[in-house]
Structure 1
Amino acid sequence: MMGGMVSEETRTRSAPRSTSTSTSIRSSSGTADDSQETATRAWMARLVIVGLVLTAVNLRPAITSLGALLEEVRDGLGMSGSVAGLLTSVPPLCFAVFGVMAPRLARRFGPVPVVCAGMVAIAAGLAIRPFTGSTTGFLAASALALMGIAVSNILMPVIVKRWFPDRVGSMTGLYSMALALGTAAAAAVTVPAAEVLGGSWQSGLAMWAGIAAVAVVPWLPLVRERGAAPALSGTAAAGGASAAGGASAPREASQAGEASSRAARPEPDTLRIARSRTAWALAVFFGLQATAAYITMGWMAQIFRDAGVSAGTAGLLLAVTMAMGVPLAFVIPRLATRLSHQGPIVIALGVCGLVGYAGLYFAPAGGAWAWALLMGVSNCAFPLALTMVGMRARTGAGVAKLSGFAQSTGYLISVPGPLLVGVLYQHSGGWGLPIALMSALMIPQIVTGILAGRDRTVEDEATRRSAR
């Protein structure tokens, strides 16, 4: 045995150059491969950013373009106020029904192919619905577009968490800003575009199908690369550089610590999200802010028109409301990720909403621009809710479950709101009762937002519950 050891040592000493050369060749090859892989991942990450932005732009025009032309659509299809209320309730209903499917579809096909298919559905639905000629056909085509929006809504936080785990706030802000931009553009441009295109409301609605078709393009290369690993985050890259420098022991210790921490938490497949108080608080908060948002998108232009404001100006006021989300949707998520508790932001947004509703009640035309601005600030509860989805779970799979639960349950909660506003408007003959309802709903929105903003995760809650 000793002889064997000596012989092995002798062979090692006798060929130092060969070993060194071989190691150098492998190292060089490995460096080249790593460099190529890093470049590929960086290119894919940029493509994901483009896809996120274009997708976000298309997540609301199907709704706000209809809000701007709701009176013309009602007259063209012979809708009553109650049926129009049903039409404005279709978006959250579709988001609730189809949103439940998103996590399951993402597990089977991957989030990128599902979002790509969602963009195709949006383009098809928007192209078909203005020309169906009936309320039923209009609703069916709208549901097709809204199905695509629903799955994309759910999976956007999942894609952000997977590709940019150390930039959740900034990336959520980026696509929330793009979403607000698309929402505002649809509200502002639809009426003038309809006039330019011959005064036809059908043309004004159909033009948004082309914008949705463009959003399909950046996802197509990523669909082919669905098996590729996510892009390197800044943290991961730093970890890789440290390892390359020889700091393997600290990294291994860190990995061991993370492994033991993960072992103490429930696996995502066994995580019972419906038992989490934080998940329920976030779902109710999401549902109430969605109620306010869809009432605003569906009915606010009509409130201004009934107060004597022209159709074009009413569309611009709605656009101002939606445009407030462009800067704030980028600022609020970044601010939220720096706070341990997001309650103060929830309160500030809620107060803006209450003041805006009071203005709509007492002087809808006189202070129209001020109320539009305040309602726009209040509507930024949406990017805040999306940011909290990313912060209230530790893993990508956990975010997928929480996003699916909070958004699907939340949108289900929001379904009756726009419909009830339409019924109250038709039977009361004015906007007093609908505005009172909107104001009353703002109080539980603030309360549940404070509860959802506490510094905890659904995995930690499940761990504490199982330890009892």
Structure 2
Amino acid sequence: MTPAATSPTHTKAAEQQAPTRAWATRLVIVGIVLAALNLRPAITSLGALLEEVRDGLGMSGTLAGLLTSVPPLCFAVFGVMAPRFARRFGPSAVVCVGMGAIAAGLVIRPFVGGTAGFLAATALALMGIAVSNVLMPVIVKRWFPDRVGSMTGLYSMALALGTALAAALTVPMTDALGGRWQTGLAVWAGLAVVAVVPWIPLARDRSTATAAPEHISATVRQEDTALRITHSRTAWALAVFFGLQATAAYITMGWMPQIFRDAGVPAGEAGVLLAVTMAMGVPLAFVIPRVATRLTHQGPVVVALGACGLAGYTGLYLAPAGGAWAWALLLGISNCAFPLALTMVGMRAKSSVGVAKLSAFAQSTGYLISIPGPLLVGVLYQHSGGWGLPIALMAGLMVPQIVVGTLAGRNRTVEDEVAARAEAA
């Protein structure tokens, strides 16, 4: 009797499967890069034109200040839904729809008229960003289980590049296109439309949309619906670490140019300094995940990044204008805690389902933690009349970030922790 594994039908199917997986893998790589490029321009392009948007829509200062907290709020609310959508429709389909939501939101929000419509369209774009944020580590784990570090680095590098490009180019493009802030914001929708394209065939192919590639073991593909992620101490440590690094990032994006301007740095140079800070993530976001995956404990990387943050904030406090470029570079290095957090999400779970749950929990909880940060900085600045207290707060938050990041970097998985707790109970 001929074994089924050597039957002509099986052999032919296997021969057809290999090229199918090859093109799908290449398409996933392109899709990951294009998706990552679109995960921050909706935010940083608005920051670059916030004064013009305020004047154009007649926003109060308080409402404009609240805009800095809308992104993390949307990321927390919508990100928690991503694993459920992914289980039902497949991660590729959800990311495809997410890119479409980003494009639609960016096209609509400048022209919808009124503050309420502007906020609703912004929320639509942020919803697409939120679900894609959560599912990127899942897709990396499914398709590249042996290359989590390098693929997370590629994704993080593209995300940092998109962030820096939007910060640096939005104002010049707005001027070149006639000076209307509406056009300057809407132009970024074109990049999101391009990002939809590679995900369409992946979403339509159910074999790539809902199932892991054939070379991934059955253990990785198996869905563990009983995993109680909140029973893992590592999950909580990673969530708090994610929240504190996000707090630092949003404070930097929202307030760093103003700190430099108040210190006497010209407005144009202050914008360039922010772009430099964001651009530091382009090369380092590729290097840091690769280094992290080669270590059994990521604590030393956490400490190094935190030390750069402390040095940068100390410099801002003592000589904000005199060493502006050095402080921008140091804070740019410190902000690379984001790709490190994403890498640890992929390393702290065994299966793609575990990664999905851990990613959703860490990012949703983390973004909730980050919401008060930018607002508190604004309040301290307004009531103290200077940047001493806000900068002291920023530096102080580096200490717990280092502590919880070191705890999250220990060599263990959430599945093992949950199982151990269940056995102990």
User: Which bracket does the TM-score occupy, shorter chain normalised?
Assistant: over 0.9
SS at match of 1:340: coil
In the TM superposition, 1:198-237 aligns within 5 A as 198-228=178-208, 229-233=211-215
* 1:272 corresponds to: 228
* 1:130 corresponds to: 110
Distance of aligned partners of 1:285 and 1:46 in 2 relative to their CA distance in 1, 3 Å threshold: same
> What is the CA-CA distance between 1:128 and the residue it aligns to?
1.7
CA distance in 2, matches of 1:203, 1:177: 27
Q: Do 1:106 and 1:114's aligned partners in 2 also have CA atoms closer than 8 Å?
A: yes
Corresponding position: 1:429 with 2:388: no
SS at match of 1:430: coil
Q: Do 1:273 and 1:401's aligned partners in 2 also have CA atoms closer than 8 Å?
A: yes
Question: Structure 1 residues 143-152 or 199-208, which shifts more?
Answer: 199-208
- For 1:435, the aligned partner's letter is I
CA distance in 2, matches of 1:448, 1:429: 32
| Candidates 386, 408, 421, aligned match of 1:452 | 408
* 1:3 corresponds to: none
CA distance in 1, matches of 2:115, 2:258: 20
> What is the CA-CA distance between 1:232 and the residue it aligns to?
4.9
> What is the CA-CA distance between 1:134 and the residue it aligns to?
3.0
CA distance in 2, matches of 1:367, 1:207: 34
> What is the CA-CA distance between 1:36 and the residue it aligns to?
1.8
Distance of aligned partners of 1:424 and 1:152 in 2 relative to their CA distance in 1, 3 Å threshold: same
> What is the CA-CA distance between 1:29 and the residue it aligns to?
5.4
* 1:197 corresponds to: 177
* 1:170 corresponds to: 150
Q: Do 1:41 and 1:230's aligned partners in 2 also have CA atoms closer than 8 Å?
A: no
* 1:373 corresponds to: 329
- For 2:343, the aligned partner's letter is T
| Candidates 313, 316, 328, aligned match of 2:269 | 313
Corresponding position: 1:291 with 2:247: yes
CA distance in 1, matches of 2:196, 2:310: 39
Structure 1, gaps ≥5 residues long: 1-18, 237-254
SS at match of 1:270: coil
- For 1:230, the aligned partner's letter is A
> What is the CA-CA distance between 1:324 and the residue it aligns to?
0.7
> What is the CA-CA distance between 1:301 and the residue it aligns to?
2.1
Corresponding position: 1:398 with 2:378: no
| Candidates 18, 34, 39, aligned match of 1:59 | 39
- For 1:52, the aligned partner's letter is I
- For 2:325, the aligned partner's letter is W
Question: Structure 1 residues 361-370 or 351-360, which shifts more?
Answer: 361-370
* 1:11 corresponds to: none
Please provide the CA RMSD for this pair: 2.2
* 2:316 corresponds to: 360
* 1:33 corresponds to: 13
| Candidates 258, 261, 266, aligned match of 1:302 | 258
- For 1:326, the aligned partner's letter is V
Corresponding position: 1:338 with 2:294: yes
SS at match of 2:207: coil
Q: Do 1:393 and 1:402's aligned partners in 2 also have CA atoms closer than 8 Å?
A: yes
SS at match of 1:269: coil
- For 1:98, the aligned partner's letter is F
SS at match of 1:136: helix
* 1:139 corresponds to: 119
* 1:156 corresponds to: 136
> What is the CA-CA distance between 1:427 and the residue it aligns to?
3.3
Q: What is the number of equivalent residue pairs in this alignment? A: 421
> What is the CA-CA distance between 1:189 and the residue it aligns to?
0.6
CA distance in 1, matches of 2:381, 2:49: 18
What TM-score do you get using the length of structure 2 for normalisation? 0.94
Indicate the percent of aligned positions where both proteins have the same amino acid.
77
Q: Do 1:131 and 1:202's aligned partners in 2 also have CA atoms closer than 8 Å?
A: yes
User: 1:334-363 CA distances to partner (integer Å, 9 max, x unpaired)?
Assistant: 111110110010011011111111222222
Distance of aligned partners of 1:169 and 1:274 in 2 relative to their CA distance in 1, 3 Å threshold: same
Question: Structure 1 residues 348-357 or 77-86, which shifts more?
Answer: 77-86
CA distance in 2, matches of 1:111, 1:98: 15
CA distance in 2, matches of 1:305, 1:205: 24
> What is the CA-CA distance between 1:68 and the residue it aligns to?
2.0
CA distance in 2, matches of 1:299, 1:79: 19
User: 1:66-101 CA distances to partner (integer Å, 9 max, x unpaired)?
Assistant: 222223333333444433321100000000000111
- For 1:211, the aligned partner's letter is L
> What is the CA-CA distance between 1:27 and the residue it aligns to?
5.3
Q: Do 2:231 and 2:421's aligned partners in 1 also have CA atoms closer than 8 Å?
A: no
SS at match of 1:456: coil
User: 1:258-317 CA distances to partner (integer Å, 9 max, x unpaired)?
Assistant: 79xx9xxxx721111111110000000000001111111122222223333333322221
CA distance in 2, matches of 1:405, 1:175: 20
Structure 2, gaps ≥5 residues long: none
SS at match of 1:393: coil
Distance of aligned partners of 1:232 and 1:188 in 2 relative to their CA distance in 1, 3 Å threshold: farther
What TM-score do you get using the length of structure 1 for normalisation? 0.85
User: 1:102-139 CA distances to partner (integer Å, 9 max, x unpaired)?
Assistant: 11111111111111111111111111222344333222
